[in-house]
Amino acid sequence: MQAFTKTTPSPKYILALDLGTTGNRAFVFNTKAEIIGQAYKELTQYYPAPGWLEHDAEEIWRDTCWVIKTAINNAQILPSDIAAMGLTVQRETCLLWDQNTGKPLHNAIVWQDRRTAPLCNQLQQQGYAEEISDRTGLVIDAYFSATKLNWLLEYLADVDRQQVLAGTIDTWILWKLTRGKVHATDHSNASRTMLMNLTSCNWDQILLNLLQIPAQILPVIKPSIGEFGVTDATVVGAEIPITAILGDQQAALFGHGCDRPGKMKCTYGTGSFLVAHTGSQIVRSHDQLLSTVAWSQLQQDGNLDVSYALEGSMFTSGACIQWLRDGIQLIANAGETEAMANQVTDNGGVYFVPALSGLGAPHWDMSARGAFLGITAGVQRQHMVRSVLEAIAYQVKEVVQAINVSSSTPIQKLTVDGGACENNFLMQFQADLLGIPVERPAMRDTTVQGIAFAAGLGAGLWHDYEQLVSQRQIERVFYPQEDKQLEMERNFITWKKAVERAKYWADNA
């Protein structure tokens, strides 16, 4: 690796890590919030059984080290030039590891994994749904970390629990970056475990007892923007302060400038995640949207300032495009889908239910499975590809409707990011379907931008959040076509019928 001589008198760069579901990335930002170096490495997906998904935590750590060093090298700076680091991660994925050896005790169980659905059903049948919702803001679902940790502890029953540490991916990487000195998480990630009390912002002892999770194995919960220690010099070549940790969707919310009620965004990544800021108050939804922490920080008087959000989590978006490529090999790459969708005038009567990992908001059906419906002899692969893109937009439509019901102000604009928002067909279809403009920023990696903003503000490199946000450039706005409204509404109704049929089949198969 090429070495560079130090040219800056003091640290003035921000390192942003985004450890996602399908890959790990590192970006270096300068004082103008411009990217000057980056690196990416795809992450191996392990499917040990139907509905199960795991990641190798050691691979995540190795890739993290590689992308950090590569991004710094590509930026032509030294590690000591970096003022601070921010970390954003796939949220509910979790693991256990040995605090003495530093070795994972099992692969990390990914947020999409459904192995704990039976335990979730049992908790629902025992009448815990309302209490868990009241305490955590979440619904009982295998999506969240709590039942995954319960499964791991039962599977590893012979392990000495006094030596075990638990955490989501942010906790694991923070522990590794600091050589085991810091075992912590932030409020945004903790709020996704189904173990944190949303009002007190502490681990809920009643839920820990219910799920038989020892409190001592869990990390300390810290403010999202603040001090998380420093990296060990032997890891990345310098002691770099870690000044922000956020869940990936919260980081995107921060990057879009959605810092007050009425502002919202949708990330089209592995899943689609629509998040609306709700201010300092917890807003409850009657349509099974999630109440969650947006981010937190300490005020000058030492009191904790917590911002909350409403979220609709849709498990399968970009993941179903990846499935078209890797699973049934209907496409060679994701970029083909836009042209293929435009090659046909409609979906040929085909509707896709994207329940490859069950259905998230607003259904929360763990048993639902994906399906193509309406296939006839005249259907071509272009129709099937188009139906998959349309299904991504239909899911978002359902959640937007639910948020409008919970809010006094209907959504007037949708701000988007994530890999699938590159697809112009999908974005125009989404605008037509919602009947509102869809705004796409020039900087697609808003998750990374958000954690960079948070880390730089936390380190004092930047001081004006609104100025940072105002510098963002909008690449394109997709406006709804009025002549499409009736057709869109009819097709949406048909798609919802397809969803009900897929749910019925799963329940009665």
Tell me the mean pLDDT per 10 residues along the chain, length 509: 45 93 93 93 93 95 96 94 94 95 96 92 94 94 94 92 94 96 96 96 96 96 95 92 95 89 84 87 84 92 90 85 91 92 94 88 82 93 95 92 76 86 94 92 87 93 88 91 87 93 70
**Distance (Å) of CA 321 to CA 169, 199, 328, 385:** 25, 38, 10, 8
On whether both 367 and 499 belong to a single domain, the answer is yes
Are residues 403 and 487 located together in one domain of the fold? yes
pLDDT at position 509: 57
Q: Are 292 and 347 in the same domain?
A: no
Q: Is residue 466 a part of any domain in this protein? A: yes
Does residue 274 sit in the same domain as residue 362? no
**Is 396 in the same domain as 451?**
no
Is the residue at 386 inside a domain?
yes
Residue 383 resides in a domain = yes
Taking the C-alpha atoms of residue 88 and residue 450, their distance in angstroms, rounded to an integer, is 9
The verdict on residue 227 lying in a domain is no
Q: Is residue 502 part of a domain?
A: yes
Residues 379 and 451 in one domain: no
Q: Whole domain around residue 308: which residue ranges?
A: 257-314+439-478
Would residue 452 count as lying in a domain? yes
Beta-sheet pairing, 13-19 with 82-89: parallel
Residues 302 and 391 in one domain: no
CATH number for the domain that contains residue 396: 3.30.420.40
- Asked whether residue 470 falls in the same domain as residue 486, the answer is no
Are 500 and 357 in the same domain? yes
Residue 273 lies in a domain: yes
Query: Does 179 reside within a domain?
Result: no
Model confidence, pTM: 0.84
My answer on whether 366 and 496 are in the same domain is yes
Q: What is the crossing angle of helices 424-434 and 381-406, to 10°?
A: 40
Do 388 and 504 sit in the same domain of this protein? yes
Nearest Cα to Cα of residue 148 among 124, 112, 122, 103:
112
Same domain, 354 and 489: yes
- Identify whether the C-beta of residue 357 lies closer than 8 Å to the C-beta of residue 51: yes
User: Pick from 437, 268, 283: which is nearest to 354 by CA?
Assistant: 268
Angle at 464 between CA 460 and CA 470, to 5 degrees: 135
3 state SS of 411: coil
d(CA 389, CA 343): 14
CA gap 10, 500 in Å, rounded? 59
Relative to beta strand 35-42, strand 23-29 is: antiparallel
- How many domains are contained in the chain? 2
